[in-house]
Structure 1
Amino acid sequence: EATLRVLFNEELGAVLQVRRADRARLQALAVSHGLDKILHPIGEPREKLGIKLFLGSETVMRGNWTQWLSAWQETSHAMQRLRDNPVSADAERAWRIDDADPGLSPKLGFEPGADIAAPFIASGARPRVAILREQGVNGEVEMAAAFTRAGFEAVDVHMS
């Protein structure tokens, strides 16, 4: 029970995936910044779907990540079914836990290294950016203000 409280707390923290060859360098960096006492290895990626959680050398939990993800999202899914189309909510949940789905594979239609902003710098042009919002989501005013301050023309787009 205590292990679950630690793993699923909402305190500030981060999970980093670091190549095995870079672990010593990360540890040294943590020591140099006084963070070595709060840096803890918690696992490593595997090809299989199973997850094992250790506390020291003891296995404290093991399971399939899709089962854990499903349990984690249960409340959000129930709320989404009430708020949105239940068929769509169920389809989205099934997609999220489909371990055979390879995910998105972007196909770029441009050269990522190209500086596409160069012609517009110091020209006074204000590129348009869409601020998407949907029912029940807040923060679009602050987002629009931030983009406007950064030199964009913010356009409010309501999703329904």
Structure 2
Amino acid sequence: MSGEPSGADPGPMLSPPEQRLWRDFLRFSGDVISAVERELFAATGLSGSDFQVLARLHEADGHRMSQKELGELTGWTATRLSHQLARMRQRELVDRTPGERGRLMAIALTDPGRRAYESAVPPHAAAVRAHFLRHFDDSATEAARSLFGG
């Protein structure tokens, strides 16, 4: 892949085909994410953001990591992450304690958080299959993995 669509106009504006492709991608990705998050919330009461934090902590060594590392993994601003963690602490899904290196805070998965995550995995997987993976056969899957950097 060259990184630039064939026949692309290298000018400052997107060509009409580029604009259509970009808008189709935005619509598709937004629709998929919204559908998965709606079904996840209906089945578990967890938001997509809750699930993302719980998944990162569940996969981490000792089910804990620094708040800074969690922010880097999610790609969220420090403010957004802080607000999300405060909401999750109120529901006892995570715990936040001073870390080992001075100011860094450690975020840990609680037992209720672990149980919530583990019970959310099957409905999350079903929603991802229903709204995303159903669009891909084997060759499309390989092309998508290449495109997405996998």
More helix by percentage: 2
**What TM-score bracket applies, with the shorter chain setting the length?**
under 0.3
The higher relative CO (CA closer than 8 Å, separation ≥ 6) is in: 2
Scaled by the length of structure 1, what TM-score is found?
0.25
* Richer in strand (by share): 1
Decide which structure has the larger Cα Rg and report it.
1
TM-score, normalised with respect to structure 2: 0.26
